[in-house]
Amino acid sequence: MRDRQSFFEQVYDLVRGVPAGRVATYGQIASLLGLPHGARTVGWALRAGHAPADLPWHRVINSSGRISLRAGQGAELQRALLEDEGVTFGVDGRIDLTQFGWDGNVCMRF
DNA sequence: CATATGACGATAT
DNA sequence: AATATCGCCATAT
């Protein structure tokens, strides 16, 4: 195993494992990859643009449960995609990670 | 190898 | 609470 793939390839594989209706944080993904402080690198991997079309990038948000993208850069698109999957946003546009946060395991509610 | 960047995170102010 | 800054890490140049 090892760096058979670049870091972002590993990020993509992990993001693909996030079930619909759930969201993961950059720090969480980085931690799963062995870099508890590589959250920036995760975001970097996604913004790089090398991501495949089936990559559910919209399920990745920051630790605040908030969309990191700025308006005009896909933030509205990300929110729309998440709401379409059943994720609800708070009044401040925040997601309740307690309810929609990914465990790091594909487990269905109930 | 050095510097810069970035869809973060935590802390300081 | 909002903003500013530092820390952390993989790529880019």
All structural domains of chain A, each given as residue ranges with its CATH number in brackets, are 4-99 (1.10.10.10)
Q: Is the CB of A50 under 7 A from strand B?
A: no
**Nearest alpha-carbon partner for A17 in A32, A7, A2:** A32
Is the dihedral angle over the CA atoms A52, A20, A17, A47 positive or is it negative? positive
State which nucleotides on strand C lie below 7 Å from a protein beta carbon: 7-12
Confidence band (pLDDT; 50, 70, 90) for A7? confident
- Supply the pTM of this predicted model: 0.89
User: For residue A110, what pLDDT is reported?
Assistant: 58
Q: What is the pLDDT of residues A54-100, one digit of tens each?
A: 899 999 999 999 999 988 888 999 999 999 999 999 998 999 999 99
Nucleotide whose C1' lies closest to the alpha carbon of residue A40: B8
Nucleotide whose C1' lies closest to the alpha carbon of residue A75: B7
CA distance A40 to A105: 22
Contacts of A29 (CB under 8 A, 6+ apart): A11, A14, A15, A39, A42, A60
Percentage of residues of chain A with pLDDT beyond 90: 72
